């Protein structure tokens, strides 16, 4: 049995009214570890367990680390998560809560990641947060579910960090005969590495991440994500942190589910940038979720 669950698909009255079209929500915020990431990471971990791996290693202090920890607990395989000193106590406690061991190393993700790679031996599998075909095939199941539910849509709105979610959705659309359906790829200002690459016409690395949406904080998207943006209909949208946090607060009132600004970015397209949806009648938004933001943190961001 898969490690992810089949999530609800809801027609949202508040988001439909806000955006002037029919909006459907794929509620992956309800996955047990709090985000869509368990779809791909669960599939990758099951694959490696089947190949005899005895340990999983991750270098994400965010939702990928939480998902690997969750998968390891479910599969009875020990997990080591290497995180930088900047990772919050809250995020570390979420990883430990799943029974994984947390190692703090270095000032940034780069250094934590290097140490994680040193910890990988023949018995261990390294689980990348976004750049792995096993992940994309797993993420694609959310489109299988939406199609199986019989809901038709003419665009998919999702957020982009390193582009694993987008690569998975593109694969899901392709394998369901929907390759022409546009993807609205949303990033926050200060984390818009896909938009920067598309604009430059080549894979581009941002000098730094300055958005509060840390789950979108890949300085460079994967080669695959960039290829997808060049070879199928993808529309890049950038929203500011204020819009992303505002969308989280409105969504909490509207649907009583708390999500990170990384997810709020996609919701903000319906709430405040509906002009970007002008060509579409029935939009599917991937509510990717995220477990690392609290209500207090959202309120503090909003007050700034
Ligand atoms: C990881 C993550 C993203 C971005 O996914 P990528 O595959 O890196 O593009 C968006 N939202 C949340 C909540 C995430 O955890």
Domain annotation covers residue 95: yes
> For ligand 1, is residue 162 a contact (CB within 6 Å)?
yes
- 53 alpha carbon to ligand 1 midpoint, in Å? 26
pLDDT, position 244: 98
Does the global pTM surpass 0.95? yes
Shared domain check, 44 and 16: no
Neighbours of 275 (CB within 10 A): 9
Identify whether residues 81 and 150 lie together within a single domain.
no
Backbone angles phi, psi at 79, to 5 degrees: -125, 135
Domain that holds residue 115: 37-129
**Distance (Å, rounded) from C-alpha 131 to C-alpha 184?**
20
In a domain, 153, yes or no: yes
Cα separation, 49 vs 21, in Å, equals 44
Contact 22, 45 (CB under 8 A): no
> Are 238 and 259 part of one and the same domain?
yes
| Same structural domain, 29 and 100 | no
| Gap between the Cα atoms of 90 and 295, Å rounded | 13
288 lines ligand 1 (CB under 6 A): yes
pLDDT at 97: 97
Are the C-beta atoms of 31 and 291 separated by less than 8 Å? no
Q: How far is the CA of 222 from the centre of ligand 1 (A)?
A: 13
> What's the pLDDT at 304?
87
Give just the sign of the alpha carbon dihedral 53, 57, 110, 220. positive
150 and 74 both lie in a single domain:
no
Q: What is the pLDDT of residues 183-198, one digit of tens each?
A: 999 999 999 999 999 9
Structure tokens at 34: 């709090």
Would you state the pLDDT for residue 107? 86
Task: Give me ligand 1 centre to Cα 161, in Å.
Answer: 5
Residue to mutate, 42, 159, 195, ligand 1, most ligand atoms under 8 Å from C-beta: 159
Measured from the Cα of 168, ligand 1's closest atom is 7
Contact 121, 249 (CB under 8 A): no
CATH of the domain at 186: 3.40.50.1100
Q: Which of 211, 194, 208, 214 is nearest to 260 (CA)?
A: 214
Residue where a domain stops, chosen among 129, 158, 176: 129
Structure tokens at 165: 């979610």
Q: How far is the CA of 218 from the centre of ligand 1 (A)?
A: 9
Helix (H, G, I), strand (E, B) or coil at 183: strand
Q: Is residue 3 part of a domain?
A: no
Which pLDDT score, from 0 to 100, does residue 1 have?
Answer: 81
Full strand arrangement of the beta sheet holding 124-126: 101-104, 79-83, 55-58, 124-126
Per-residue pLDDT of the chain (304 residues; tens, 9 = 90+): 899 999 999 999 999 999 999 999 999 999 999 999 999 999 999 999 999 999 999 999 899 999 999 999 999 999 999 998 989 999 999 999 999 999 999 988 889 999 999 999 999 999 999 999 999 999 999 999 999 999 999 999 999 999 999 999 999 999 999 999 999 999 999 999 999 999 999 999 999 999 999 999 999 999 999 999 999 999 999 999 999 999 999 999 999 999 999 999 999 999 999 999 999 999 999 999 999 999 999 999 999 8
Report how many domains make up the chain: 2
Specify if 4 maps to a domain.
no
Q: Looking at residue 61, what is its pLDDT?
A: 84
Tokens standing for residue 148: 């199986």
């Amino acid at each position: 049995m898969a490690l992810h669950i089949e999530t609800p698909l809801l027609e949202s009255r508040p988001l439909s009214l806000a955006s002037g079209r029919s909006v459907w929500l794929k509620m992956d915020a309800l996955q047990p570890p709090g985000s869509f990431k368990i779809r791909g990471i669960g599939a990758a971990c099951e694959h490696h367990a089947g190949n005899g791996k005895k340990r999983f290693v991750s270098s994400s202090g965010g939702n990928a680390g939480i998902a690997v920890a969750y998968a390891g607990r479910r599969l009875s395989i020990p997990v080591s998560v290497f995180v930088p000193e900047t990772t919050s106590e809250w995020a570390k406690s979420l990883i430990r809560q799943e029974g994984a061991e947390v190692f703090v190393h270095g000032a940034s993700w780069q250094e934590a990641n290097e140490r994680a790679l040193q910890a990988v031996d023949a018995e261990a599998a390294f689980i990348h947060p976004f750049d792995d075909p096993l992940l994309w095939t797993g993420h694609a199941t959310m489109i299988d579910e939406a199609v199986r539910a019989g809901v038709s849509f003419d665009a998919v709105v999702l957020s982009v960090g390193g582009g694993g979610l987008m690569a998975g959705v593109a694969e899901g659309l392709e394998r369901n005969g929907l390759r022409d359906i546009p993807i609205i790829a949303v990033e926050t200002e200060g984390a818009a590495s896909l938009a920067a690459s598309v604009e430059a016409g080549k894979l581009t690395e941002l000098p730094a991440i300055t958005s509060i949406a840390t789950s979108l904080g890949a300085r460079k998207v994967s080669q695959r994500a960039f290829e997808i943006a060049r070879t199928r209909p993808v529309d890049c949208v950038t929203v500011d942190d204020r819009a992303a946090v505002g969308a989280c607060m409105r969504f909490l009132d509207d649907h009583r589910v708390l999500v990170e600004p990384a997810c709020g970015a996609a919701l903000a397209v319906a709430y405040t940038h509906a002009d970007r949806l002008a060509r579409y009648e029935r939009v599917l938004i991937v509510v990717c979720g995220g477990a690392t933001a609290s209500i207090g943190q959202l309120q503090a961001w909003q007050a700034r």
